[in-house]
A and B are shown apart, each in its own frame.
Chain A
């Protein structure tokens, strides 16, 4: 598999990262190189092997469904780049 410029553009769009023409030129061979390298996994026979997502084998424990915090909007907003009246502010999204 190779990561051509078109594929880089697509993946940059999915990643929500703006890339310049010059960056695409640079990134495309790098990602292609990494992809070729990781494709050696194809040599490994993984028939009937279950994927391992996490080494923790215990079940997630459930806590009681009760409110444990809240009333802390000031804390939540403390690092916001922009806020007004207890809301995060973003560029206008409705025409």
Chain B
């Protein structure tokens, strides 16, 4: 029999239904995998007892014929989602020990579909980073290595623990959040599928806030079909989130049927950036051939404001973060420093509770919102944001979706790119535009570089059109036949 941890979600559901194995066996196999991969540091909190309890309940449901869409499937949950009575930290010292009294809507939806939680995964502190090296609970180490080189590599970030867990076959799927690329970039770095749906598709209720107008919950899995299934279970209207869309969620897992014949796929000129490795350009060209072979047409498009997306993002996201993170004051929850004066207590709590990157962003955000600079920076960035959205709207008059690389490089070593914050920020150059415009995007593992590391291609679609994105992603997946696994 195939090892249970090698199965896709779709096959595992069939196996459960055919009584080839139980949810408890499937879950135990993944708990064992989690225990033997501790060196990856993918989890902040492991919850094997909860998982086994959920698995038993799942087996009971299935025996009675009441199994849900994801019944018995072990997942990893990014530690940015509040989980009732289970420590939720955002990878920050300031929230160490915090046990929410409520459940996030996304995890509630997953659990009511029968999903099982293996634990809470590590991330960049407050989801601020592209390498998972800013966590208070230590770096996540990618399960991947360069050929013949033992150097530890980053899994990408911020959802690095989720990506590592799925890539290392510890979990069959995972939740993530994507504010500037935090699902798609780690998916690309670890050779798995990661999807950020349209802003408003998945509720933000119970997701610890970073930049509220950009934060988007989404999913990781090892196949496009599995990712579609997870998204279908997570998504839906939620009155608790004022930006949640009151729209019906399509059956994403069914949208992979059918072909892409006659579709127009946009190839943006501006994504050919200086210094991008040849292998990534080659992979992109290969991707264009794949979609042409499937009967789609590649059309040249222009997204002229692409170059300004990152600087606009690094005004808007820190501005929103500085406001959202004002709540961590040592009074209501989380860490408190000892001081006799209230103002001193606030300042010391925040100095000791937040890490360096988080403090940098809070200060940056406070600066761009402060008197005298608000119009010059914050308003300006919001105007540029509209131009970026309009770029996409114009492009979608000529095409149905856009094909690009996911990242401008493969995974790098832990400690690289840390001398200069801007170098790290450039990781998100191809993904951040989708956040600013609120569009759905997916990264599909499509090839490997000269060192044997995975590279991803990204499909970005029209708002609310995840189905087209998934359909094209399915086509690329089929053509790429990506079979590499971390060693």
Footprint of B on A, CB under 8 Å? 3, 7-8, 11-12, 14-19, 27, 30-31, 33-35, 37-44, 46, 49-56, 58, 60-61, 63, 72, 75-76, 78-82, 88, 90-93
Q: How far apart sit A76 and B342, CA to CA, in the bound complex (Å)? A: 21
Q: Are A14 and B366 in contact (CB under 8 A)?
A: yes
Q: Are A44 and B420 in contact (CB under 8 A)?
A: no
Instruction: Given A27-B363, A90-B342, A91-B340, answer yes or no on A51-B386 (Cβ-Cβ < 8 Å).
Output: yes
- The one of A7, A15, A51 in contact with B322, judged by C-beta atoms closer than 8 angstroms, is A15
Q: How far apart sit A91 and B330, CA to CA, in the bound complex (Å)? A: 11
Chain B residues with CB below 8 A from A52, complex form: 382-383, 385-386, 389
Q: Are B332 and A11 in contact (CB under 8 A)?
A: no
- Asked if B245 lies at the interface with its beta carbon under 8 angstroms from chain A, I say yes
- Asked if B235 lies at the interface with its beta carbon under 8 angstroms from chain A, I say no
Q: Are B314 and A31 in contact (CB under 8 A)?
A: no
Q: Are A55 and B438 in contact (CB under 8 A)?
A: yes
Q: Are A16 and B350 in contact (CB under 8 A)?
A: yes
- Asked if B381 lies at the interface with its beta carbon under 8 angstroms from chain A, I say yes
Instruction: Given A38-B314, A51-B382, A75-B101, answer yes or no on A56-B363 (Cβ-Cβ < 8 Å).
Output: no
A53 CB, nearest partner CB in chain B, Å: 6
Q: How far apart sit A26 and B245, CA to CA, in the bound complex (Å)? A: 43
- 16 A–B contacts, CB within 8 A, in A order: A14-B370, A15-B362, A16-B350, A17-B363, A30-B421, A37-B422, A38-B377, A40-B307, A41-B380, A51-B385, A52-B389, A55-B438, A75-B101, A79-B98, A81-B330, A81-B334
Footprint of A on B, CB under 8 Å? 97-99, 101, 199-200, 213, 239, 242-243, 245-246, 305, 307-308, 311-312, 314-315, 322, 326, 329-336, 339-348, 350-351, 354, 359-360, 362-364, 366-367, 370, 377, 379-387, 389, 420-422, 437-438, 463
Q: How far apart sit A72 and B288, CA to CA, in the bound complex (Å)? A: 56
Q: Are A49 and B363 in contact (CB under 8 A)?
A: no
Chain B residues with CB below 8 A from A50, complex form: 383, 386
Q: How far apart sit A14 and B366, CA to CA, in the bound complex (Å)? A: 7
Q: How far apart sit A82 and B97, CA to CA, in the bound complex (Å)? A: 14
